[in-house]
Amino acid sequence: MSRHTAGAEVALARVMAHCGGDPAEAMGYLSSAIAGAPHHPDAYAVIAELRQSAPAATTAFAEGARSPGGLAAQAFLMFLDDDMDDATLTVGTITGFAPTVAWAAAPWFGDPRFLASVSAEALAEAAMRTMDYGHPLDTDDVRERFRPWFRAIETVSARHPRPESLARMAILLRACGLIPASLALCDTADAVERTMLTEVVRGGTWRRVGDLEQAAAAFERATELSPTNWSLYLDLADIRADQGDFAAAVDLTDRGLAHGPAEITLRAARAAYRTRLTGSAADLADLVEMAPRLPNAGYRNLLIDQACDGPNLPADLVAAAHNVRES
């Protein structure tokens, strides 16, 4: 929607609010205007007026809001009510659903009152919600639309540097391709307190850019901070397998199984890496049996590919593994 069209929606809303006497219908026009031009201030000005003149109607509209534009209007009403945390969570939700719209360009999202009040925990959760639907974020267009998010992260992380919240915000920066900024935020978190999550995020960032040794070092530190977390050993085993060190990968899955002996993904990884290292037909058979029950098909296929490159494997077992992969 163009600014001109958004302006027409606002004009209609003003008529409905003040002349037509239907503030609920006015809110519908205003939410449509926001959806078309989230940065345009006029719609928010009229909503603020309606909040004063028709509070029951605006509350009813907010409670029934379902469309992205309606939820964006609801978020602004939360801002007006000083509910900054729920406001940012709502913007995170609609951004995740429709990241092609610059929802955070709403003037209130950069307002000093908002940035001084929203909690680090809420902003971190909102940042995670922007990634809920798996849309690609590492593009110039997305980075431009997400500038208000980056400004908010910078401001709130400086005001209230809670390590786990900063680590979660760093995940969004990584998803948007801002690798140095993501790593710097992890360093800021470390300056307050070292946590397992920060090391996991840092390790994932290094792995994304292909620096497997730095990634492995970060996950090693994570296991030191949380030595009974089986999933950390699996992550580290996968990195060592990517480096071609299958002996280390097997050892790490064994260490993980000491803490999660029933974890099928860990057991399947151990079988795959033992097969690749030793050519064990028994381990490949175990992998074939477990593979259909693995929750992540992409990871299952990766393990099968790794295993089937093992030495001197029976052709019938390799064929069975490939059949599972193609199922």
The yes-or-no verdict on residue 17 having pLDDT over 60 is: no
| Reported confidence tier of residue 24, pLDDT bands at 50, 70, 90 | confident
Q: In this predicted model, what pLDDT tens digit does every residue of 133-155 receive, in sequence order? A: 999 999 999 999 999 999 999 99
Predicted local confidence at residue 4, as pLDDT: 43
Instruction: Report the alpha-carbon distance of residue 157 to residue 161 in Å, rounded.
Output: 5
Q: Which residues of 161-186 are buried (b: 16+ CB within 10 A; e: fewer)?
A: bbbbbbbbbbbbbbbbbbeebbbebb
pTM: 0.92
Distance of alpha carbon 321 from alpha carbon 313, whole angstroms: 11
Measured CA to CA, the distance from residue 251 to residue 273 in angstroms comes to 10
pLDDT tens, residue by residue, 259-299: 999 999 999 999 999 999 999 999 999 999 999 999 999 99
Q: Which residue type, as a one-letter code, is found at position 95?
A: T
Residue holding tokens 């994570």?
222
Residue 125 near residue 134 (C-beta atoms within 8 A): no
Residues 167, 147: Cα–Cα separation, whole Å: 19
Please choose, from the candidates 17, 25, 13, the residue with its C-alpha nearest in 3D space to the C-alpha of residue 52. Answer: 17
pLDDT, tens digit, 9 for 90 and up, residues 177-195: 999 999 999 999 999 999 9
CA distance 112 to 84: 12
The upper half-sphere exposure of residue 284, i.e. CA atoms within 13 Å in the direction of its Cβ, equals 27
**pLDDT above 60 (res 222):** yes
Tokens of 150: 């980056």
Mean pLDDT of 103-127: 98
Strands (E) located in the chain: none
pLDDT at 15 over 50: no
What pLDDT sits at residue 102? 98
d(CA 63, CA 79): 15
Contacts of 180 (CB under 8 A, 6+ apart): none
Q: For residue range 60-103, what is the model confidence (pLDDT) as tens digits? A: 999 999 999 999 999 999 999 999 999 999 999 999 999 999 99
pLDDT, residue 2, reads: 44
Domain-wise residue ranges, the chain: 1-95+105-118
Q: What is the mean pLDDT of the chain?
A: 94
SS3 content of the chain, % helix, strand, coil (to 5): 80, 0, 20
The pLDDT tens digits of the residues spanning 151-174 come to 999 999 999 999 999 999 999 999
Tally of residues, the chain:
327
Q: Is the pLDDT at 20 greater than 70, yes or no?
A: no
Residue 14 has pLDDT above 70, yes or no: no
* Cα–Cα distance, 50 to 201 (Å, whole number): 44
Q: How far is CA 313 from the centre of its chain?
A: 40
Residue 172 CA to residue 150 CA, distance in Å, equals 9
Hey, what are 221's tokens? 């530190």
Encoded tokens for 84 = 């900054």
